Amino acid sequence: MILEAIQYAATFPVTPAQFRPSIRSSVNLWARAGRCARDWSAHEAQCQAFIRETVAGMRERRTAVVLGSGLLRDVPVKFLAQKFDTVVLVDLVHLASVRTWLKATRLHNTRLISRDLSGFDDVLAGRSAEPLGFLRQVPYLDLVISANILSQIGVGAERRLETEKNGDVTVVPKLIAAHLDGLAGLPCTVALLTDTGFRVSDRSGKALEEADLLGGIAPPAAAAQWPWTVVPFGEESRDYQVVHDVIATSAFGRFSADRG
């Protein structure tokens, strides 16, 4: 708890005021990532490998943008900084430990942007959401990576709806579709990494719970997929684990989000 408190305190002053309520969840994720490092390592390695493979097929490598950069565990930032002129890392919160690591490794061509990528306020107000519209302002944009943020947009929206006692079940599908449509409309290479659903199982392998994480919206066809043990046995309970289904794809040329 002491390390978490230090992380929180160091992150607070460097985070824009409107995003400070999200620091706690970022710190909690950082702590869980440390505890579950062994169980998360295969997932993180596969995410990084897919990004490297995507970059290998590119000719132009000027600016890369990472949406949901988070803890930088699933993104090969050093590799991107070596291959691109500029790497822009976008998330609600950039923890103090992440900022310190970037400075220590002297990745001077990286830029941090704090931004809400969900489009929640627009959808709730009945406006058309275009949360990735800001990418049109990024010069020489050659690569956009959506790094395990898509499902979190839905999870975060559900929490806000619950807090505000709003039962609008159309909000999450609209947000998921807006993100996918935004990626599909970009005139550059796109890499999507996302978990699509999860299942809770006991030690005998019996499924206790299963759920879709994309609000019923179908993602583009996967180029690769794998399981990710987000909550191993013993993390929340010795009796169950939570495994997410993850896909990776860059096939956005003919994709448009299916609102089904």
- Model confidence pLDDT, tens digit, residues 190-234: 999 999 999 999 999 999 999 999 999 999 999 999 999 999 999
> Per the domain annotation, does 135 fall within a domain?
yes
| pLDDT tens digits along 165-198 | 898 899 999 999 999 999 999 999 999 999 999 9
Quick one: pLDDT at residue 167? 85
Quick one: pLDDT at residue 87? 98
| pLDDT tens digits along 51-72 | 999 999 899 999 999 999 999 9
Residue 107 makes CB contacts below 8 A (sequence gap 6+) with 77, 78, 81, 87
Task: Look at the chain and report how many structural domains it folds into.
Answer: 1
Quick one: pLDDT at residue 252? 63
- CATH number of the domain where residue 232 is located: 3.40.50
> Per the domain annotation, does 257 fall within a domain?
no
Residue 254 has pLDDT above 60, yes or no: no
> Per the domain annotation, does 228 fall within a domain?
yes
> Per the domain annotation, does 87 fall within a domain?
yes
> Per the domain annotation, does 123 fall within a domain?
yes
> Per the domain annotation, does 103 fall within a domain?
yes
Q: In the chain, helix, strand, coil percent, each to 5?
A: 40, 25, 35
Name the pLDDT band for 256 (thresholds 50, 70, 90).
very low
Residue 150 has pLDDT above 90, yes or no: yes
Residue 141 has pLDDT above 70, yes or no: yes
Quick one: pLDDT at residue 183? 95
- Average of per-residue pLDDT across 97-126: 95
In whole angstroms, what is the distance from residue 143 CA to residue 140 CA? 9
Give the residue from 2, 62, 63 showing the smallest Cα distance to 27.
Answer: 2
Domain residues for the domain of 18 are 2-249
DSSP secondary structure letters along 46-100: HHHHHHHHHHHT-S--SEEEEET-TTSSSS-HHHHHHHSSEEEEEES---HHHHH
Give the three-state DSSP class for 210.
strand
